[in-house]
Amino acid sequence: MMTDIAIVEEKYGLALFRMALTHLVDVGHRNLTDEHVGDSIKQIIAQAKADMANGKKTLMPPEFQCDIVRCAAELSKFSIMDLLIYIKEHFPVSN
């Protein structure tokens, strides 16, 4: 997986690659509206009910999945650059 990402980086160059990553985050950032959050939560709950009815076990409880969506919605209120800087400063990258 990391090799595949590195191939894309090599193909486009570091500057463009970084801008593309920012664009990727921005697209998600802009589409995380209150309406989408509500729709996502409804979908998670409906899927959980269907899974429970079929006896299917899930890796994450639906409440946790909904909290991920809610947290992402709160994070979407920050600028992309502030989020990327925060990630760089608080989440060390390891090999």
pLDDT in tens, 37-92: 999 999 999 999 999 999 999 889 999 999 999 999 988 889 888 888 898 888 87
pLDDT value, residue 28: 87
pTM above 0.85?
no
CA dist 49 and 68 (Å) reads 18
b/e code 64-74 from CB counts within 10 Å (16+ = b)? ebbeebeeebe
